[in-house]
Amino acid sequence: MKVSQPTSRTPKLNHTHAHYLMAIHTISEEQGYVRSVDLAKHCKKTKGAVSMAIKTLTQKNLVIKDPNKHLKLTERGKRITTQYLGAKMALYHFFTKVLKVPPHVASKDACSIEHHLSPQTVDELVRFCKLS
């Protein structure tokens, strides 16, 4: 499979892959580095499942392994992860504050669509939520 060009559109990732990217971001904020074992623990997945996902994310040029085998988001990976996190936050805010949906339902529903929104919708949603 060819590695996509950096200028290409947002790659289609499945939900699990999206969660791995967000987990790498979160763990890295918390402890400064991310090992596969941290990711497995955080996502409650086996090491085998994690290494397969990492392989895919690496091929898509979203994640790289540094010489210490620590996982890092590439610039492209960071951009996509920021978009997912923004979408998740804005959706959660919209569901709880505007629609008055209970938090546990809101977070479940935000989670199920966070990675399906286009950047434009995320931007507008974030803008809307700041105004409301």
Shortest distance, position 121 Cβ to Zn ion, whole Å: 16
84-123 residues in contact with Zn ion (CB under 5 A) are 111
Q: What is the rounded CA–CA span in Å between residue 83 and residue 49?
A: 24
- Return the number of the residue (63 or 117) whose C-beta is nearest Zn ion: 117
Shortest distance, position 92 Cβ to Zn ion, whole Å: 11
Q: Which residue has the tokens 């936050």?
A: 89
100: left (phi over 0), alpha (psi -120 to 50) or beta: left
64-83 residues in contact with Zn ion (CB under 5 A) are none
Interaction between residue 49 and Zn ion (CB under 5 A): no
